[in-house]
Amino acid sequence: MPLLDIKALHIFFRSMNSPIKVVSDLNFEIEESEVFGLVGESGCGKSLTALSIMGILPKNAYSEGVITFKGSNLLKLDKESMRRLRGNELSMIFQEPMTSLNPVLTVGYQVAEVLTTHRGLSKKEAMDNTIELFRAVKISSPEIRIKEYPHQMSGGMRQRVMIAMAIACKPSLLIADEPTTALDVTIQAQILELIQKLREEMKMAVLLITHDLGIIAENAQRVAIMYAGRLMELADVHELFNNPKHPYTIGLLESLPKEKGIPLKPIPGFVPEPDKLPPGCKFSDRCRFAKPECKQHEPELRAISSFIPRPSSFHFVRCIRAEEIT
């Protein structure tokens, strides 16, 4: 049984007229201790998916569907049981480590709070544990650092504190929403390496959300590509990069600079607003492979036959011409 199973998830924003659908019919599973990558451009709904798993969608949004985590449907849980899961079994790190820490409390207190809340430790025990956690995330001289405030730390250090807080209760699933976008490359490499190391040690699954395909290639085992609130392609990471089938995925890969002098092939146009999506396939207005029928019916996400060594991983694509495209 997968650790997390998302079935027919829809996310809506309330608006003056009818609700606006921003995520539509999302289906995927995350196995225990795997790194699952979710890729997409801004506004494609990847962060909303994460917030919906955590049960912290903004007030003007709501979700429908089933999110099964360890046998229980997260969307049907009452507030109290959800609160007990969050920070304990399920935890999340965010893109901006400055805004996700409380500026008026010491970082040590903020990490220890997780332990006193969920593990019922005393303040003293929690602080001792926090020092250990800081050591685990490679913060130097943790005894001194726990007494510091977020503004005294650099971005990389703050993200380490966030990770310490997220792993304090040894969660089964860590959601990392653009964990390194605000950081420099050298620090980014260290943070990703740290997440990988902790994942191996603690047998924790990671939902890695990013727009950087390079990060995905190096860190994820399976990848889902999202566009305009839909899953467009889902495959094993090697399969996806060696044998991309959806025109959007191909477009993303061709947008990356490779050899000097070879002109880039960008995807024309721009991402449509969620209330102004084209009929039929949502990518059809930017797709160079589009045929008239693409603009009429939205294709289903379907498994395609391919040369995959392991039968457990299939290749799913939402495109009617996937077989013809290479």
Partner 1 sequence: MTLLKVNSLKKYFSVQKGFMTNPLTLKAVDGIDFSLDDDKIFALVGESGCGKSTVARLILRLIHPTSGEILFRGQNIFDLNGDSLKAFRKSVQIIFQDPFASLNPRRNIYDTISEPLKIHRIIEKQNMKNKVVELLSEVGLGPDIMNRYPHELSGGQRQRICIARALAVSPKVIVADEPLSALDVSIQAQILNLLQELKKEYKLSFLFISHDLKVVHYFSDDIGVMYLGKIVEYAKTDDLFVKPLHPYTELLLSSAPKIRLGNEKTSLHAKRYTLSADKLEVPSPINIPPGCPFHPRCPKKFEPCDKVVPELKETNGRLVTCHLY
Whole-number minimum distance, CB 212 to partner 1, in Å?
7
Whole-number minimum distance, CB 241 to partner 1, in Å?
6
> Which amino acid, one-letter code, is at 260?
K
Nearer to partner 1 by Cβ, of 176 and 267: the residue is 267
Nearer to partner 1 by Cβ, of 31 and 212: the residue is 212
Nearest to 112 by CA among 142, 81, 141: 142
Binding site for partner 1 (CB under 8 A): 41-42, 138-140, 154, 156-157, 184-190, 192-193, 196, 211-215, 217-219, 237-238, 241-242, 251-258, 260, 263-268, 270-271
Nearer to partner 1 by Cβ, of 75 and 136: the residue is 136
Task: Return d(Cα 294, Cα 279) in angstroms, integer.
Answer: 9
Whole-number minimum distance, CB 165 to partner 1, in Å?
18
Whole-number minimum distance, CB 112 to partner 1, in Å?
21
Who's near 89: CB < 8 A, 6+ residues apart? Answer: 69, 70, 169, 171, 172, 173
Task: Return d(Cα 83, Cα 76) in angstroms, integer.
Answer: 13
Task: Return d(Cα 220, Cα 205) in angstroms, integer.
Answer: 11
Nearer to partner 1 by Cβ, of 156 and 171: the residue is 156
Q: What are phi and psi of 90, to 5 degrees?
A: -120, 130
Whole-number minimum distance, CB 86 to partner 1, in Å?
28
Nearer to partner 1 by Cβ, of 90 and 182: the residue is 182
Task: Return d(Cα 125, Cα 6) in angstroms, integer.
Answer: 37
Nearer to partner 1 by Cβ, of 59 and 276: the residue is 276
Whole-number minimum distance, CB 251 to partner 1, in Å?
6
Task: Return d(Cα 92, Cα 112) in angstroms, integer.
Answer: 16
3-state DSSP assignment of residue 210: strand
> Which amino acid, one-letter code, is at 28?
F
Task: Return d(Cα 5, Cα 66) in angstroms, integer.
Answer: 8
